[in-house]
Structure 1
Amino acid sequence: MTILATEGLTKRFPRVTALDRLTVTAGSGVTGLVGANGAGKSTLIKILLGLLPPTEGSATVLGLNPATQALDIRRAVGYMPEHDCLPPDVSATEFTVHMAQMSGLPRSAARERAADTLRHVGLYEERYRPIGGYSTGMRQRVKLAQALVHDPQMVFLDEPTNGLDPQGRDEMLALIRRIGAEFGISVVVTSHLLGELERVCDHVIVIDGGRLLRSSSIGEFTQATQSITVEVEEGQQPLADRLTAAGQQVTVHGRLLTVAVASPGTFDIVRDAVCDLDLCLVRLEQGRHRIEDVFREEMANV
């Protein structure tokens, strides 16, 4: 199922072109929209929601035209904006109920949905406190809750991990994965942190300067390489030295070693070296491309 599509989508401002003839499609599941700050991610979302008119081209969201059916789109779609937009003097419950009513839910249904949604995002115990006293992580969860409260078919999450510490990012990413995997809601999530998208997305769209660089499944981005990754608790350098002496091409990355697979015998050589040095093997797996590597390759070819 195609959840969004653009054809020659262009948005020009007086001094900059935010989107430049962008043609792309995305299906159900969790789609990552990645690009540096200023790449056009937020502009694209605003056009898809009908909040900003395009200069040229066309777009559809769930088969609806943002130029003429913006209200229908916003009833069926949730939106978590990047910027801080929460009123400090109301509680998470009051705000989420209000947003549910704005999406067309009766007040009784809105209150029930708000309680369920705040529980899902981990704010049930804190739901009656004024938002002004919330941490950054809690405020991000409120923004996520209001995007989900009306049970949308899909959600746009614009930089949902902004300002979060590592634990907060992990928790937010887990929530995003649950939305797609357990709730059956399609997700479009933007980020400039490529490693995050690798962890939660089924598909990634890479844009730069408003132009499409690549649109591929995560599997195509992170396809297997002709190398293996080796992790040991300690003794990385002695292991690297032993493998190099055995004629293997080795690169050290902290606790990890990347060993080029010259032949099937490479696996036996690594095993024997680990045993001879009496090291504790944590991981031995097929190497895979990372999105960062592919992105750098795409940029080099532009």
Structure 2
Amino acid sequence: MHILATEGLTKRFPTVTAVDQLTVTVGPGVTGLVGANGAGKSTLIKILLGLLPPSGGTARVLDLDVTSQGAGIRRLVGYMPEHECLPPDVSATELVVHLAQMSGLPRTAARERAADVLRHVGLAEERYRPIGGYSTGMKQRVKLAQALVHDPKVVFLDEPTNGLDPRGRDEMLALVRRIGTEFGISVVVTSHLLGELERICDHVVVIDAGRLLRSSAIGEFTQSTQTVTVEVDEGMEALAARLSETGHTVSPQGRLLVVQVRGPETYDAVRDAAADLDLCLIRLEQGRHRIEDVFREEVAHV
């Protein structure tokens, strides 16, 4: 079953086309929606939630039509918005309980569920304090908690690491991954920081100016390349010279040496050269594409 599917989906505003003939399907798991700021990610999510009518095409979430069954979609889907939206004068517990009740949970069940999700996102000790005194990271966790409180089948997380320091980003990404792996809730997470999604997603959808550039499993983005990266303690120049003598194409990159792989014999050649030159081999690693590389390649061809 598809979590969502669009066909020719388009959204035009008076001065810009935010989503342009988008046709894509997304299955269960953790899916990254990648694009630069202004690429149409937030607009797409609002359409999928039934909050913004499309100008053309169709879209379905959990097999419900976004134009006629928006309320049904929102009962089954959690949404963490990008923008600042939390009331400063209430506690996290009050807010999350209130939103759980709005989603249809009885008050007792809402309080129990709110306590569970706030503990899950790391706010067990702070949940009774007014949100206005929270740090940016704590506010992001409250937004995540309210998206989970009604036990949705899918959550849409719009730039969940915005404004966070490196440690906060790592912790938020770990939470997002746990949602998909331990709790069985499918996740659609947007980000313009491509490296983040590479760490947590099963599938990535790349859009630019509202158009689909690529939709692939993460393994297809980060497939092996025909290079091997070599790092030695000292003697990189000598190693490069020796490998060149054996007919290999080598290129220095800072403290690293990138060697074109001709076949299994390349690894043997690196090992033998390092041994003959009495070098300390620190790293021998097959090169891999990164999402950033693929994104640049796709944009260059548009």
Q: TM-score by structure 2 length?
A: 0.94
Structure 1 equivalent of residue 226 of structure 2: 226
Q: CA deviation at 1:29?
A: 0.2
Aligned residue in 1 for 2:20 = 20
**Contact 1:243–1:269 at 8 Å: present in 2 too?**
no
Question: Residue type of the partner of 1:296?
Answer: R
Q: Is the 8 A contact 1:228 1:259 kept in 2?
A: yes
The 1-side partners of 2:96 and 2:257 are apart by 48
Taking the aligned partners of 2:252 and 2:176, their CA distance within structure 1 comes to 33
Q: Pick closer, same or farther for the CA change 1:250–1:175 going to 2, 3 Å.
A: farther
Q: Within 2, Cα distance between the matches of 1:161 and 1:7?
A: 29
Partner residue, 2:280:
279
1:262 CA drift (Å): 2.5
The aligned counterpart of 1:44 is 44
Match of 1:147 in 2: 147
Describe the SS at the equivalent of 1:246: helix
Distance 1:38 1:179 in 2: 27
CA distance in 1 between counterparts of 2:253 and 2:169 reads: 23
Q: Residue 243 of structure 1 is aligned with which of 240, 244, 263?
A: 240
Q: Deviations over 1:257-301 (max 9, x none)?
A: 4321123222123234445454262x4332211111111111111
CA distance 1:286–1:87, shift in 2 (3 Å)? same
**1:253: Cα distance to partner?**
4.4
Matched residue, 1:158: 158
Q: Which moved more, 1:263-272 or 1:126-135?
A: 263-272
Contact 2:228 2:258 in 1 (8 A): yes
Which residue number corresponds to residue 126 of structure 1? 126
Partner SS, residue 3 of structure 2: strand
Q: Which secondary structure state, in structure 1, belongs to the residue aligned with residue 46 of structure 2?
A: helix
Asked whether the equivalents of residues 243 and 273 of structure 2 are also in contact (C-alpha less than 8 Å), the reply is no
Gaps of 5+ in 1: none
> Residue in 2 aligned with 1:73?
73
Q: Is the 8 A contact 1:240 1:250 kept in 2?
A: no
- Return the alpha-carbon distance in structure 2 between the equivalents of residues 185 and 240 of structure 1: 51
Equivalent pair of 2:89/2:132 in contact (CA under 8 Å): yes
**Which residue is 2:106 aligned to?**
106
Question: Structure 2: which 5+ residue stretches go unaligned?
Answer: none
Q: Residue 246 of structure 1 aligns to which amino acid in structure 2?
A: L
Query: For residue 268 of structure 2, what is the aligned residue in structure 1?
Result: 268
In structure 2, the partner of 1:288 is: 288
User: Matches of 2:168 and 2:153 in 1, distance apart?
Assistant: 26
Distance in 2 separating the partners of 1:266 and 1:83:
51
Compare 8-17 and 252-261 and name the one that shifted more.
252-261
| Residue 255 of structure 1: how far off its partner (Å) | 5.2
Q: 1:288 to 1:71 in 2, by over 3 A?
A: same
Amino acid at match of 1:101: Q
- The alpha-carbon distance between structure 1 residues 231 and 117, as it changes in their structure 2 partners (threshold 3 A), is farther
- In percent, how many aligned pairs have the same letter? 76
* Separation in structure 2 between the aligned mates of residue 79 and residue 70 of structure 1, nearest angstrom: 13
Q: Measure, in 2, the Cα distance between the counterparts of 1:255 and 1:210.
A: 40
